[in-house]
Amino acid sequence: MDLTIKSLSRSTKYYKNNDIIKYIVYFISVAICLGYIINNNLLPLIFFIIFTGIIYYLNNNLIIALISSIVVTNLLIALKLFDNIEGNENIRPDKHETDKSREKNNQRPSPSKKQSKPPKPDARTKDDAKAEIDEARVKAVRIRNTDVASVPST
């Protein structure tokens, strides 16, 4: 098999014009964009869209633009370059940074739904529980006796 520029250009023409590959790349791109939106990763989403537009402007082939932007965006996410951008704190606050800022301000963390626990019941012994049950039974018997006593006899 001879690898020349002509053979590579023929194989890329096949992949450019294949409808199945085109729809697979479209589907993956839409899924990645929805994943960025759901996870509130706005900077990678914006970068993905802008980079795709630039590559499409230079190449006029949407498939190559989408594939290259998928690769470059995921590479930058893996290198965590989007986390180090200044001003990113307002878009997506980091858990450790918010804890550090609270420590600086000497504030107590606000309770969130995930951290809040239901209040624990009072610690009671078995004897206390038995005493309460006995008191409830005595009250129930008294109520029955008063109801029976208040009913006029026939």
Which DSSP string do the residues of 22-87 spell out, in sequence order? Answer: HHHHHHHHHHHHHHHHHTT-HHHHHHHHHHHHHHHHHH--HHHHHHHHHHHHHHHHHTT-STTSTT
| 147 is a domain residue | no
Q: Report the alpha-carbon distance of residue 14 to residue 63 in Å, rounded.
A: 12
| 74 is a domain residue | yes
| 31 is a domain residue | yes
Please tell me the total count of domains within the chain. Answer: 1
Residue 30, domain extent: 9-78
Residue that is written with structure tokens 């001003």 in the block? 87
Please provide the size of the chain in residues. 154
| 89 is a domain residue | no
Is 29 within 8 Å of 23 (Cβ atoms)?
Answer: no
Tell me if the pTM is above 0.85: no
> Residue-wise pLDDT tens for the chain (154 aa)?
566 666 656 666 666 678 888 999 999 999 999 999 999 989 999 999 999 999 999 988 899 999 999 999 999 999 988 887 766 555 555 555 555 555 666 656 555 555 556 555 566 677 787 888 888 888 888 887 776 556 565 5
Is 69 within 8 Å of 46 (Cβ atoms)?
Answer: no
